Chains A and B, each alone.
Chain A
Amino acid sequence: MVESKHKWKAWLYLAPAIVLLLIFTVWPIINTVRMSLLEGYNSMSAVGGATYSFGIGNFKQVLEYNYFLQCLGNTMLLCVLTVPLSTILALLIAVCLNAIKPLQRLLQTIFFLPYVTNSIAIGMVFAAMFNMVGSAFGGENEIIITAGIINNVIEFFGGHAVNWINAGSSYAANVVVMVVYIVWNALPFKILILLGGLQSINRQYYDAARVDGTSRRRVFTRITVPLLSPMLAYVVITGFIGGFKEYSSIVGIFGEDMGPAGAPGRLNTMVGFIYDSLSTQQGRASAAALILFGIIFVVTMINLYVSKKKTHY
């Protein structure tokens, strides 16, 4: 490796990164820990001269909040549903894309579109697709003026309009909409990574498999997936990290109330919980953020351990 004489040069190359990281990453973390330990810290009152005692009051308040488990539950549910679903879909799409020649470039571009669209538009479009206009949905005096595009399609095929995200909609319907939205957003990056991974697999393994008379399904399960496993592990791990921080997608569909009319906060997530208290209770928001960091850290460690065992070579 590098002789020790060059050691200080290496540190020199690292210097700009270290300095910037210290100021804009390490220090905010320290400050977050500081705020989380100041019981009831509120930045406005602090300016007004209020003083705070050190303690774990904030953490207690976060854990005792009656909707805390609901926020955690929602976050977990969304992660457990969207990460595997988007990974499997991305894998299937990547494999199919890799197997065709004509139209490959066009389809590849289409699948990357969500990545370049601004998140505002996406929220707007999905709302238009699922939103219903009318009154007393579900009741016998129900009046439906606009059922939303998805319901128009369902009715076209003879089904009955479903109340997806409006007043009186079921939790399951809300979750379905969120899963569709999150998966739709998560696909492009995952397809990109997996397609890249597929193309770096040596063609000869597939030739060998063909000569061995392997069926298409077994080629997929016994060769493609195992050889892609490092990429898959990476996509799943980053998927979970991103999934735990899900917030803007729920705001995109349900707005700041994080739930359909009449059931506010029903789909609130951990980051949503942090945001709620960020404007008034910075101490509590910091405590919640550190709790979330702890959870993500544990889940990622589990993921790393599992993937270490499962990933081949």
Chain B
Amino acid sequence: MSSTNHVTMHERDMRRVSSRQTVGKIVSKVMVYTFLILMAVIIIFPFYWMLISSVKSISEYRLSVPTLFPREILLSNYVDAFQQANLGRLFLNTLYVGLVSTLLSLVITVLSAFAFARLEFKGKNALFAALLGTMMIPGELFTITNYATVNSFGWMDSFTVLIVPFLVSVFYIYLLRQNFLQIPNELYLAAKVDGTSDLKYLWKVMIPLALPTLISITILKMMGAWNSYVWPRLVANDEKYQLITNGLRNAFTDSTGDVNIPVQMAAVAIVSFPLFLVFIFLRKYIMKGVSRSGIKG
């Protein structure tokens, strides 16, 4: 294996290799960090711009050369935003709608995913592909038909109309089903043998194992409620049922149609903050949930 000349050349190699390797390590570390910091700046800049706009006065906001640091901080914008769009009320409505719809849809998603994962029938995959197909249809078409349906049910201007139509989301059933499929079948059969009912098994075994995915579904669902705009505005115009984005859209336009953007930005910041907190606390779960669901396609 190692003839003599090979060894000496070898030694020189070794020293050169080790020096190049340490330099290589430093260079790659520097490159990774500069790339990440650069991308982070690009991603955060609009967010930063939104925040400083939210504390500027209208005149400063409309300066021809925009100021990167606000000359005077107008925290009153936040107070105005809260009162003008009565964010408190909208916030509670959105929270209520978000929580109830998330809980109900979780129940439905878990049951359906469980059935799909356990159930074996001929057309199963075809049915599932068809359901996934519905995700491809632009939502706008559903709105006009669903509007007629909910009206014939008499649900107008109520929380029901904001919650019920979107309880079933095929995507989350798909996500959870993938997760359930990873739980070995023997567990189910073993549970069956010692008499545990389906629901107990679901509660005791499957849900704990799929917890991360369930949590990420919950978070993604809540964010959906936060951003929904077209449907709530159409079916729930009464202030008692308005959601956040309705408030944001037209609470700040004066009679001539001129929008007070800084106050609107302040409102958006107030609205985004809770979501931001939710993300920070549950980040670990979202990460695991998404990867654990093993979207193996």
Contact = CB atoms under 8 A, between A and B. Distances in A.
Interface residues of A, number: 93
Interface string B156-178: 00000000111110100100000
A121 B145 contact: no
B35 A1 contact: no
A113 B115 contact: no
Given A110-B40, A116-B279, A23 B140 contact: no
Please classify the interface of chain B as helix (H, G, I), strand (E, B), loop, or mixed, using the class held by over half of its residues: helix
B268 interface: yes
Contacts of B131: 21
Contacts of B116: 14
Interface stretch (A63-71, A259-267, A282-290): A282-290
Interface stretch (A51-59, A77-85, A164-172, A229-237): A229-237
A29 B136 CA distance: 12
A24 B46 contact: no
Q: How large is the interface on B (under 10, 10 to 19, 20 to 34, 35 or more residues)?
A: 35 or more
B255 to A, nearest CB: 20
Interface in A184-205: 184, 187, 192-193, 195-200
A135 to B, nearest CB: 13
B207 to A, nearest CB: 14
Given A120-B245, A293-B137, A17 B108 contact: yes
Given A16-B107, A25-B142, 18 more contacts: A10-B115, A14-B111, A17-B168, A31-B145, A93-B39, A110-B43, A114-B43, A115-B279, A117-B47, A117-B50, A119-B227, A120-B248, A121-B264, A128-B49, A193-B295, A230-B295, A247-B138, A270-B138
Interface of B: 28, 32-33, 35-36, 39-40, 42-44, 46-47, 49-50, 53, 64-66, 107-109, 111-112, 114-116, 118-121, 131, 133-138, 140-142, 144-146, 149, 164-168, 170, 173, 185, 198, 223, 226-227, 244-245, 248-249, 261, 264-265, 268-269, 271-272, 275-276, 279-280, 283, 286-292, 294-297
Interface of A: 1-2, 6-7, 9-11, 13-14, 16-17, 20-21, 23-25, 27-29, 31-32, 43, 89, 92-93, 96-97, 99-100, 103, 105, 107-122, 124-126, 128-129, 133, 145-146, 149, 152, 184, 187, 192-193, 195-200, 216, 230-231, 233-234, 237, 241, 244-245, 247, 270-271, 274-275, 278, 282, 285-286, 289, 292-293, 296-297, 300, 307, 311
